[in-house]
Amino acid sequence: MTSPQTPHDPAAGRADPAPHGGDTTPEAAAPHAAGLDSRGRVKATRASGLWIGLISAAVLAVLFLIFIAQNSRKVTIQFLGFDGELSLAISLLLSAVIGALVVAVPGIVRISQLRHALRKNAKGH
Q: What is the pLDDT along the chain (125 residues), one digit of tens a residue?
A: 555 555 555 555 555 555 555 555 555 555 567 777 778 787 778 888 888 989 999 999 898 888 888 888 898 888 888 888 888 888 888 888 899 999 999 999 999 999 999 988 888 76
Name beta bridge partners: 78: 83
CA angle 32, 36, 37 (to 5 degrees): 85
pLDDT number for residue 10? 52
pTM > 0.85: yes or no = no
Residues 6+ apart with CB under 8 A from 93: 64, 67, 68
Contact between 73 and 88 under an 8 Å Cβ cutoff? The reply is yes
pLDDT number for residue 111? 93
